[in-house]
Structure 1
Amino acid sequence: MASPQARPGLPRIRASYRIETPLDPERAAAAMAGEQSSGTFLKLAGETDALRERHAARVESVALLATVDTPSLPGSLTGDAYHRANVTLSWPQENIGASLPNLLATVLGNLTELRELSGIRLTDVELPRDFIEAFPGPQFSIAGTRRLAGVDHGPLIGTIIKPSVGLSPEETADLVRQLIEAGIDFIKDDELIADPPYSPLAERVPAVMRVIEEHAQRTGRKPMYAFNITGDIDEMRQRHDLVRAHGGTCVMASVNWIGMSSLVALRRHAELPIHGHRNGWGLFYRHPQIGIDYRAYQALLRLAGADHLHVNGLGSKFVEADASVIDSARACLTPLLEAPGRDDRALPVFSSAQTVHQAPPTFAALKSTDLIFTCGGGIMGHPDGVAAGCRSLRAAWEATASGVTLEDHARQEPDLSVALRAYQSPFSG
């Protein structure tokens, strides 16, 4: 998300796109601007010059990229060639007010259905300062999460409850006991479990927190557990309060399915960090000619109140390119607005088939250890057990941050040595 800039006149919202069209791109951009502001398919009596001057969208720029022979998406107007271009539009903020769902309806909305376009992807948004300030953003961000998890430096080494489904509350608590005794910093429910009949949250929360609180009283260290409270707004408020009442320090929600308004409502109610899980993100990014770039979407999720946001991982089991993963993480760590007392960054959460092998390239690309590094099999699949899996990952990150190769560090860290042999590197061969 670009930083806000001062401009004369009324504050304006800018959105950038990559489009494909059989028309002249300038004409397609004009159609986009008309569809998403004062225009329709014919001139209306109420559409005065004064109204257009105050409320119409503007085409700020059009830059041709390439021309292809066939359309990327079906249903568009046909032509001899299809032109790809970068387009930037802007709207007066007063068209929208301080509303994230109405912002999305304006900057994307019907654009995805225009016959003039055979491709449309929102790539970035630029919001006026007072729009950003209308939202509290993340409540805990990086520093607050570190404080609650008791991790002053380095990545938070985390894992996901596996198997994802089927464990009873007591079986989950038993696994949590093993993980925290092994030295884990962060544990999360899988996105597939929230409040099912076989593991009601009202039973899972006290069972898990009893184990965590006993460990904290004995050792002075309290790992963070993100309970999946995904549901409707009232359910999420009640589930948040259940977690808080039992001493929990994090809640999780599937942000794509609860929606922006529900995330805003949860943030207004919450007294705990919100772990934003982006399952379903492939619907938005997988085809290069339609959807939303994560750089744009993560900015809105942070304004809505997410403290942590998933970004996939390098060499993962998913289709997202490594460069896209790193760009997503960098975006999460870039302030939306720099102001005294404000930190609206979100901790990027790396996940999906992560092992010790991903530590060096992740740090080399991101240049930061402000992240949550979650490994399921990368911890629980270690041949010498869960504790050895945790130690191997911590050793991998210690070596990486110190500029030492994993192979050299493994000479004095047997758990890392075993992990390097047990897990195949996705970057070799």
Structure 2
Amino acid sequence: MVHYINLNYKPDENDLIAMYYVEKAPDCDDLKQACEEIAKESSIGTWTEIATLSSDIADKLKPSAFYIDPETNIVKIAYTRELFEADNMSQILSAIAGNIFGMKALKNLRLLDVSFPNDMIKAYKGPKYGIEGIRKITGIKGRPLLGTIVKPKVGLNEIEHARVCGEAWKGGLDIVKDDENLTSMKFN
């Protein structure tokens, strides 16, 4: 069995550190158990034991919950850099701010802060155009941009998606944003 709590762990500059506010559910024994569940679900584990989770994998990839404060309900978890694609913010957020928010062990969970390793910060290029670039492309200055997100968020083919975008622009919107779940899916 893999254990994710290590209060003696000292994070280094290669760790991604997530700080959470945690309230345990009534069925959960204590804050430590809740923290264990968060670290497990957000990395290499899940709600049940995994027969194929070897000690080699665990030693290489498991995070360490190194700070648990029962007075404030603040916990900190250090994730090894190898768990993440440095320039894939969607993948990073799905790990540290995804399924864990629906766990039965938790009554309330809030991601308060994330500290990224320097190589991840350097690898992430940020928005392609930025605010000024979008304003230059749209020709809109001196007022907020008005936009929408195409729904359904996934499932439309390119013709349907383009039709919805065109209707939004004809209706007076400035920009149309892809939903964050719309990635390079084969069916879209």
Within-5 A mapping of 1:6-85? 7=12, 11-21=14-24, 22=26, 23-65=29-71, 85=73
1:200 is aligned to 170
CA distance in 2: counterparts of 1:261 and 1:131, whole angstroms: 23
1:90 is aligned to 78
Unaligned runs of 5+ in 2: 1-10, 150-163, 184-188
2:153 is aligned to none
CA distance in 2: counterparts of 1:198 and 1:130, whole angstroms: 39
> TM-score under structure 1 normalisation?
0.31
Cα distance change on mapping 1:261 and 1:16 into 2, 3 Å: farther
2:175 is aligned to 229
CA distance in 1: counterparts of 2:47 and 2:127, whole angstroms: 41
1:137 is aligned to 126
Cα distance change on mapping 1:112 and 1:192 into 2, 3 Å: closer
Within-5 A mapping of 1:107-122? 107-122=96-111
CA distance in 1: counterparts of 2:168 and 2:55, whole angstroms: 62
* Greater relative contact order (CA < 8 Å, ≥ 6 in sequence): 2
Determine whether 1:187 maps to 2:157. no
Residue aligned with 1:188, SS: coil
The amino acid that maps onto 2:83 is N
2:154 is aligned to none
Cα distance change on mapping 1:198 and 1:86 into 2, 3 Å: closer
Unaligned runs of 5+ in 1: 1-5, 67-84, 150-175, 177-184, 205-226, 233-257, 263-429
1:259 is aligned to 180
Note the C-alpha offset of 1:138.
Answer: 4.7
The amino acid that maps onto 2:180 is G
Q: Does the 8 Å CA contact 1:101/1:261 hold for their aligned counterparts?
A: no
Judging by fraction of residues, say which structure has more helix.
Answer: 1
Q: How many pairs are equivalent?
A: 150
Q: Does the 8 Å CA contact 1:100/1:260 hold for their aligned counterparts?
A: no
Q: Which shows bigger deviation, 90-99 or 25-34?
A: 90-99
Q: Does the 8 Å CA contact 2:145/2:174 hold for their aligned counterparts?
A: yes
The amino acid that maps onto 1:12 is D
The amino acid that maps onto 2:113 is D
The amino acid that maps onto 1:7 is D
| Identical pairs, percent | 22
Residue aligned with 2:44, SS: coil
Determine whether 1:123 maps to 2:100. no
> TM-score under structure 2 normalisation?
0.65
CA distance in 2: counterparts of 1:198 and 1:94, whole angstroms: 41
Cα distance change on mapping 1:140 and 1:104 into 2, 3 Å: closer
CA distance in 1: counterparts of 2:18 and 2:30, whole angstroms: 20
1:102 is aligned to 91
CA distance in 2: counterparts of 1:12 and 1:136, whole angstroms: 20
Within-5 A mapping of 1:363-378? none
Residue aligned with 1:230, SS: strand
Q: Deviations over 1:67-100 (max 9, x none)?
A: xxxxxxxxxxxxxxxxxx1111121121121211
Q: Deviations over 1:346-369 (max 9, x none)?
A: xxxxxxxxxxxxxxxxxxxxxxxx
Cα distance change on mapping 1:261 and 1:91 into 2, 3 Å: farther
CA distance in 1: counterparts of 2:169 and 2:130, whole angstroms: 30
Q: Deviations over 1:4-41 (max 9, x none)?
A: xx827xx2211111110133111110111112222234
